[in-house]
Amino acid sequence: MKSKKIILVCALILLFAGGVMTYAWYPQYRGEQLVRNELIDPDSAVFMDVKYVRETKGLCGQVNGKNSTGGYVGFHDFYVDADGKVVFEPLRDAVSRLMVSRLESMQRQLEYLKGRVKVCPDEVGK
């Protein structure tokens, strides 16, 4: 009888722990799914340094995915805000010939960084 109680208690502990772990990982899973939906090939997504920020209910990290020709493009920063909006770091222009183009590129970078600081305040300075 005592061994049945021990087995029952162990089973309940495992069941509870599994539920807590699922709840803890759900925001990250949900955010990664939103990012996947924005990619050309969602199944090719590889995530790195993904972090859920409780204070802002946002997700920050890097993702690598395949382009339309099937090659991986390299890791790019992203964030997902509390409303589920996915924002990728703008691609930097390789060589900008016009100052206007450079300014627009820097403005896009600034807007991205403003949003990222709001969603991921503890990453300022990285």
d(CA 63, CA 15): 32
Domain map (residue ranges) of the chain: 2-88
Query: Is the full-model pTM beyond 0.85?
Result: no
The answer on pLDDT for 7 being more than 70 is no
Give tens-digit pLDDT for 38-47: 999 999 999 9
Measured between alpha carbons, how far is residue 19 from residues 22, 23, 24, 26, 50 in Å?
Answer: 5, 6, 9, 11, 21
Q: What pLDDT is stored for residue 27 in this prediction? A: 86
Residues paired with residue 114 on neighbouring β-strands, in sequence order: none
The answer on pLDDT for 36 being more than 80 is yes
